[in-house]
Structure 1
């Protein structure tokens, strides 16, 4: 089992030191979320709370992962990074591919790209993108990202789809190893997309039981798509009082990496950098080193 330090909601000033601590303490990776803005009024319910309300205040810091990850990669040498998850349909795929390729090169291929759809109608309205076609556009965007970031360095690519269309072009720099595409979400369309085109899956923060059920469905779908024997990663975000037995069950279900946010587990105020760092080290000592 590998371990991710999930750096959601953390103050910008803490992120570089968090990366150093994660590498020193034996974490495999750091995950960064994506939030472009906080609409004052939202016409849809947040899907991951019982009452549909957002649990973070509007001033919560969400540093752009395309900015934060290069800064964190610059002070580390082994640590890997991924987005958890980037709201891909809000963005132009070629501009995104340019950013992803640049991060992969600057980090020496230590970057994986986790993608999702976004649940907020206002994000699509305010960025002048179409929520109705978000799934189909994500499918095409993933194909474009895989072309640009195939791992062959800069090369000529072209794409002719329903939503995106361009003739031969080259993006440079481009990575020397393929950038892994990870898909997030528990819905059936998300699981099918993962099984069909992705190099891995990222769960939402939920119970070990719900993650295990999703893993079983993923195994079925990957077999249906003829991909059961291909390399595949499952990054899980178990919540609650997660025991060592729970981690074992997740691993048996196919989970390759577990996320941890120790400051929540230990009741630490993550705005206190010293306490934040100590909680990350404590989890490493109590769980990672003894697992």
Structure 2
């Protein structure tokens, strides 16, 4: 089972020298994917509950630096050659889908087809309000944006109309390296898993309690695949656990999980990154490490 690293774009991981060091060293040590999340807006005292912790509060301080994930991953791409790059996750309904289709395709072309676009519907009403995007029906908006983006990546001249987006006879170039970009759905709810099976290329389950919680979500995915007539092995499944242990890897692999993502904060000093990653590599016995 592959190991990914969710460490870029926030706090210390938002600094150029740390991005360069982490990206290069993680690639050398055999990590499969570098993940980078997104929030455009943070507020000091949010009323919206955070869905990924028991106390419903996000651990990242509101004043922390939080880079745009496509820009952060562009710098990681420039520092590497083989490691995959993934947004984990990009809040798609907050973006114009035509612009996002172009940005994602541009990044994918520049990194040689290494991009996975992880997308989510978002949870912070305050963030949507600040951006002037309706919080209601953000899931339906996400579904429509995905359809529009895939059409733009696929067709040379594109016409598309839906409740949320419409354009006629437009060209958006470049196209992705392989003609499409894998779209992974973030989120742990049943609604998120319906999107995984309905149109996703995979799942990014985030901050799950333990392996038993993953097993419960996999049971739901299996049930939905049976209803939709979809083979589960078509999906690339990645999860991050709240307190992962190397002993979890065999059980996760038995569940069909393809990638365990380690959510870690990098050190303050770029010179300390190699030693920090050596410790992670040794503890997790990363395959392919030099």
Report the TM-score when normalising by structure 2: 0.91
Counterparts of 1:241 and 1:17 in 2: how far apart (Å)?
24
Give the CA RMSD over aligned residues: 1.8
Higher RCO, 1 vs 2 (CA within 8 Å, ≥6 residues apart): 2
> What is aligned with 1:85?
89
Equivalent in the alignment of 2:5: 5
1:99-148 C-alpha deviation (Å, 9 max, x unpaired): 11111111110001000011111111110001102011000111112222
Whole-angstrom distance in 2 between the partners of 1:146 and 1:53: 34
1:290 Cα offset (Å): 6.2
Q: Which runs of 5+ in 1 are unaligned?
A: 264-268
Per-residue CA deviations over 1:140-182 (Å, capped at 9, x if unaligned) read: 11111222234xxx71122111111111211111113120000
C-alpha offsets along residues 3-52 of structure 1, whole Å, 9 cap, x if unaligned? 11111532323112110011111011100011112123322122222222
- Choose the corresponding residue for 1:197, options 174, 196, 199: 199
* SS of corresponding position for 1:6: strand
Contact 2:33–2:85 under 8 Å retained in 1: yes
Separation in 2, partners of 1:60, 1:276: 20
| Cα distance per residue 1:215-253 (max 9 Å; x no partner) | 121122122112116621001102325132x11111111
The whole-number CA distance in structure 2 between the counterparts of 1:24 and 1:290 is 11
| Pairing 1:235–2:233 present | no
Per the alignment, residue 282 of structure 1 pairs with 279
Partner of residue 271, structure 1: 268
| Counterpart for residue 165 of structure 1 | 166
The answer (yes or no) to whether the contact 1:212–1:253 under 8 Å persists in 2 is: yes
Match of 2:212 in 1: 209
CA distance in 2: counterparts of 1:113 and 1:216, whole angstroms: 24
Give the structure 1 partner of residue 116 of structure 2.
Answer: 112
User: Do structure 1's residue 179 and structure 2's residue 181 form an aligned pair?
Assistant: yes
Distance 1:3 1:173 in 2: 30
TM-score with structure 1 setting the length? 0.91
Q: Displaced runs of 4+ in structure 1, greater than 3 A?
A: 272-277, 288-291
Aligned positions, number = 282
Classify the secondary structure of the residue corresponding to 1:149. Answer: helix
Distance in 1 (alpha carbons) for counterparts of 2:133 and 2:105: 23
SS in 1 for 2:261: strand
